[in-house]
Structure 1
Amino acid sequence: MQVKYLSPEEDCSVWNAYVLAHPKGTAAHMAAWGRAVYKSMGHPLYFMYVEQGGRIRGLLPLVHVKSRLFGNALLSMAFSTYGGPLADDDEVLALLDEECARLSVKLKVDYVELRNMDQAHADWPCKDSLYSTFRKELSPDNEDNMKAIPRKQRAMVRKGIKARLRAEIDETVDRLYALYAESVRNLGTPVFPKSLFWQMKEQFGKDCEILTVCTEDGQALSSVMSIYFRDEVFPYYGGGTVAARHYAANDFMYWSVMARAVAERQCRIFDFGRSKNGTGAFNFKKYWGFEPRPLHYEYYLREGQQIPDINPLNPKYQLMIRTWRKLPLPVANLLGPMISRSLG
């Protein structure tokens, strides 16, 4: 067995085939995700894989993110929820680990972060109480899916229906980005560059879909970008205006994604993505009847380093968050991409 690297400019069809076939593969492991980050942010991308007899036995996509504000790290996968190592067995995983350690020394990073659904290394430092993910099996009958939503949350979906909201599929990222930018500014978070959204759409092609919710008179209230992977739908980047709450537009939006995924794509799994435990987003997903599943973020640390704490719940970022919420939207949209590209 040999450890090799695949250039993001090369044909990645064999890489993608392995991800699609692996039981723990996710959209974040697909070459399209890494390429989108690489092309929009400019961060070095390392598609590491183990080969034996001309076939892939395991892989690990890594992004090198280096900044004065947030440190120097290898992330698998940056700007995503998942993306840790995929391997046929422990021997292959050990080879990926060894190469990961070698690369981390070469690049002089402070740490390597592997974003896993399930723990892969019992002896690695692990953060498993910060984030949870929410995944649920769907019925092929959308009437059953509606009934499966808890009563109070179902009432919010019906409120959006009664308000005659419309779900529209966008071919450009313009409305999504405007709504997303406003939403994250209100949360005190720097917005990602628009080029990331364009690249996600470009790289995933027909497997990337943007759904925007509008009022009867055409006012856009909320929007979300979903990635389709195997028989799963993964609504990821989304946002809405303050007025969206009045119309229950976000509730209607996620129901529309779910219903469309079943009717148009025969999806079986709805992946609500990660949320920080104990936050409003975490509770919102529980209200939909989804059970939280702890995520296991594992770390290979340089000697003397500790597990990083780069998240909005860290008290040292609270002043920045409060200040950011007060910025005029054009200013936040100008400055945000300069900062957010280093967050990972």
Structure 2
Amino acid sequence: MVKAFAGEAAVAGAWDEFVQQCPEATFFHRSGWLTINEQVYGHRGHYLYAEDPQGNLQGVLPLVEQNSRLFGHALISTPFCVYGGVAAQSDEAQRALEDAAIELARRLEVDYLELRNKVASTHPELTEKCAHSYFAWPLAQDAEAILAGVKKKQRAVIRHSLKNDLSYRVDDDMHTAYDIYSESVRNLGTPVFPKSYFSALKRVFGQDCNALTVEKDGKAVSSVLNFYFRDQVLPYYGGGLPEARDLKSNDFMYYQLMCDAKAKGYEYYDFGRSKNDSGAFQYKKHWGMEPTPLHYQFHLVKAAELPNLSPNNPKYQLFIKLWQKLPLPISRALGPVLSKYLG
């Protein structure tokens, strides 16, 4: 039986317990993302779960509705997350949840349903658009072994960074992480999220969310917001100031995050998704990680074709160039108006 979850504490506890032990579940299946989407962005959540006759959870499907005149009306699992779709213990539960999602999408009259699957679904009414891959690897036993496992050219860059008198700290400083990230994405021509988003991530996910910040002579130059799930560390929102390029502080940052996570008992490093053949995609390959395709799958309802909200879409190029020229305070003020539909 498929039921709806609207944030009830009792169901949330069972939901998160299921996510913690279900092999197909990810950090992005946690119930806290319902809180994030509804409270920070004002999006309506439609979280579904399947039970057996005894009332035991058999599967979960987090869904969030986004509705914008500019970007369309969609039902997504899940906005601001790289993974989504159904996490289930059986094929029957998965099919029941996917059927329920398609029915809901039709009832809401959205343009399309989007499931961000790591593993492709075989549902006949879902169409795949595979444009992203993710990168991950197991963490070696110590800092020296981690460095030795990096590809030669990237290893040389990290060794260079280790000679630049950089320091780092791992703490709850979301303020610095946001400031650096917002400047970094402005320089790329991308609208930034509201500052309240970073603080909400820390509030909702607690000790499973922190920031690693790199400093040079007491000034923060790079920072990354991280998630922790089971035995994994997931660097998620990272960036650097213009001087980071010469200092190699972003490379230093990711290497030190691996070392810090391993020292704390984590065994796996998830470097996240990148658009295929993009600069970020090539950067992650240079570390020595092999890309694994992501299977984003869609069901069209009112839309005639699959959406293309990629920055590589030619119709966004002029906007990107103009956004890069905005003063930072203005980009931080205007960005959240647009970014709430770009997660």
Tell me the TM-score normalized by structure 2. 0.96
User: Aligned-residue CA RMSD in angstroms?
Assistant: 1.2
Q: Quick one: distance in 1 between partners of 2:183 and 2:228?
A: 25
Are 1:198 and 2:204 matched, yes or no? no
How far off is 1:99 after superposition? 1.2
How far off is 1:122 after superposition? 5.4
Are 1:235 and 2:235 matched, yes or no? yes
Are 1:48 and 2:80 matched, yes or no? no
Cα deviation digits, residues 129-173 of structure 1 (max 9, x gap): x11100111123232111001121112112221111111123231
Amino acid at match of 1:185: R
How far off is 1:303 after superposition? 5.0
Q: Which moved more, 1:324-333 or 1:164-173?
A: 164-173
Q: What corresponds to 1:126 in structure 2? A: 128
Cα deviation digits, residues 70-120 of structure 1 (max 9, x gap): 100011011110011112222111211221122112221111100011101
Q: Quick one: distance in 1 between partners of 2:4 and 2:127?
A: 26
How far off is 1:8 after superposition? 2.2
| Partner-residue secondary structure (3-state), 1:135 | strand
Counterparts of residues 1-80 of structure 1 (less than 5 Å): 2-11=1-10, 12-52=12-52, 53-80=54-81
| Partner-residue secondary structure (3-state), 1:96 | helix
Counterparts of residues 299-338 of structure 1 (less than 5 Å): 299-303=298-302, 305-338=304-337
**1:34–1:77 CA contact under 8 A, matched in 2:** no
Query: Against the structure 1 CA distance between its residues 200 and 9, is the aligned structure 2 distance closer, same or farther, given a 3 Å change threshold?
Result: farther
How far off is 1:55 after superposition? 0.8
Q: What corresponds to 1:258 in structure 2? A: 258
| Partner-residue secondary structure (3-state), 2:289 | coil
Q: Quick one: distance in 2 between partners of 1:260 and 1:277?
A: 29
- Listed as ranges, the gaps of 5+ residues in structure 2 are none
**2:112–2:302 CA contact under 8 A, matched in 1:** no
| Partner-residue secondary structure (3-state), 1:317 | helix
Amino acid at match of 2:228: Y
| Partner-residue secondary structure (3-state), 2:154 | helix
**1:188–1:321 CA contact under 8 A, matched in 2:** yes
Q: Quick one: distance in 1 between partners of 2:251 and 2:173?
A: 22
Q: How many residues align?
A: 340
Q: What corresponds to 1:166 in structure 2? A: 167
Q: Which moved more, 1:228-237 or 1:148-157?
A: 148-157
Q: Quick one: distance in 1 between partners of 2:309 and 2:121?
A: 22
Amino acid at match of 1:245: R
**1:111–1:305 CA contact under 8 A, matched in 2:** no
Cα deviation digits, residues 175-213 of structure 1 (max 9, x gap): 111100100001110001111111111111001011100
Amino acid at match of 2:128: C
Q: What corresponds to 1:140 in structure 2? A: 141
Amino acid at match of 2:194: P
Are 1:283 and 2:285 matched, yes or no? no
Are 1:175 and 2:176 matched, yes or no? yes
Tell me the TM-score normalized by structure 1. 0.96
**1:62–1:75 CA contact under 8 A, matched in 2:** yes
- Listed as ranges, the gaps of 5+ residues in structure 1 are none
How far off is 1:225 after superposition? 0.6
